[in-house]
Amino acid sequence: MPVVSHLFEPIKLRDLVIRNRAWVSPMCQYSATDGVPDDWHLVHLGQFATGGAGLIISEATAVVPEGRISPQDTGLWNDEQVAAWRRINDFLHAQGAATGVQLAHAGRKASTSAPWEGGQTVPASEGGWETVSSTANAFGNNAAPRALTEAEVAELPAQFAAAARRAEQAGFDVVELHFAHGYLAHQFYSPLVNDRTDRYGGDFDNRVRVLLEITDAVREAWPADRPLFARISATDWVEGGWTGEDSVRLSRLLAERGVDLVDASTGGAVPKAEIPISAGYQVRFARQVRTGADVPTAAVGLITSPEQAEEIVASGSADAVLLGRELLRDPHWPLRAADRLHADNIWPKQYERARRI
C-alpha cells in the first residue's frame, strides 16, 4: 500500500472533496480579451490539472470591467465569459482537479499595463479608465483614483454576488474573495489607505464593513454545498498598518459568515513596504490565523520543495499549500512531489511511462 503523506491526503470542505493539498495559487496572465479567457488559459490551467494539483484557482477575475488590474484581465460580468470559463473547467474536472475562481476588484490599482509593459497606468486614450477606491490618494505613481461614494460602496456586494452566480454557471467548485494585495477590499481595511469619515472608515469595524457585506452577499448567492474562500493580506509590513492580530479578528468574522478557508498572503497596500522575503516567509500568518480564528487556512509564498510543503501541512501550520512560481517552473510538481514523498497520486495514463526512470 502506498504511504499517504499529509500533503497528499484528500480534504473535504462542505461537500467538495479535493484530492490533495497541493493547490495552484491564482496567477494573473494579462492575456484575456474583453475579460474572456482563451486557449492560453486553457493550456496554462490545464497543465496543472494533468500535473496532479488538487485545486486550481484561476487568476484574479474582475466582477466589473473597471475592477480589472489591466485591460487584459479575465472577468465574470457577462455570458460570453461564463461560456469560456465553462470550457476550461470541463477540461480541468476531466483530469480530476477541483476548480476555483478568485473574484476581484482592483480599485486604485486598476487600469494598469501588464508587468512586462511596465505596470503603469493606462490612459483612457489607450483603453484605460478612471479608477476608484476608498480614498482619493494614489498608489505610488499610479493615477489618483476617485473615492467611492457611500452609496457606491453599498453596491459592491451585489456586484460580487452577481459574479458568484456566474461562477456557478461556469462550473467552478470554489469561489475565493480577493481581499488582499492592496486591491479594493484591502484599500478599505488597511488603516494606511482608508481615510474615510463615513460608515466605511475609521475604526476596525467600519473598515471591514464592506468585506463582511460582500461575504454575506456572496455566501447567499453561492451554493450552500460549495466552499467559499477569502484571501487576505495578513500584515501590511508597515508600522501602524494592518497586523496579524487584526487578521485573526477579521478571519473569525469571515468564518462566522460562511467562509470555509482563509488564504493567508501579505502586503500590497502601500509601496515601499520592507518585506522580509525568505522561504515560506508567510507561513507563520497562516498558522496564526488557523490557531487564533479556528478556521482552515492555506499558506502561500516561496514554498518550493515537497518536503517543505509536507512539513507545513503535517505541522498544522496550514491545511493546504498554494504554489505559484514553482508550478510555472514545473507544472507537474505535484506528481513528482508525490513520488518524492512516497505518496499516491494519479498520473495521467498518457504520462505513466515517465513515472520511473
Catalytic residues: 183
CA distance 58 to 42: 11
CA–CA distance, 313 with 308 (Å, rounded to integer): 9
Residue 94 neighbours by CB distance under 10 Å:
11
Q: Which region, left, alpha or beta, applies to residue 162 given φ > 0 means left and ψ of -120 to 50 means alpha?
A: alpha
Report yes or no: 235 and 247 within 8 Å, Cβ to Cβ: yes
Q: Do residues 54 and 6 make contact, with C-beta atoms less than 8 angstroms apart? A: no
Buried b (16+ CB within 10 A) or exposed e, 53-85: bbbbbbbbbbbbebbbbbbbbbbbbeeebbebb
Gap between the Cα atoms of 32 and 333, Å rounded = 26
- Three-state DSSP at 261 gives strand
Which residues of the chain form beta strands (DSSP E)? 11-13, 16-18, 22-24, 55-62, 98-104, 132-133, 146-147, 174-179, 228-233, 261-265, 297-300, 320-323
Dig out the grid coordinates for 4 from the structure. Answer: 499517504
Nearest to 108 by CA among 68, 75, 76, 72: 68
Q: What is the DSSP letter of 146?
A: E
Percentages of the chain per state (helix, strand, coil), in multiples of 5: 35, 15, 45
Secondary structure letter of residue 121 according to DSSP: B
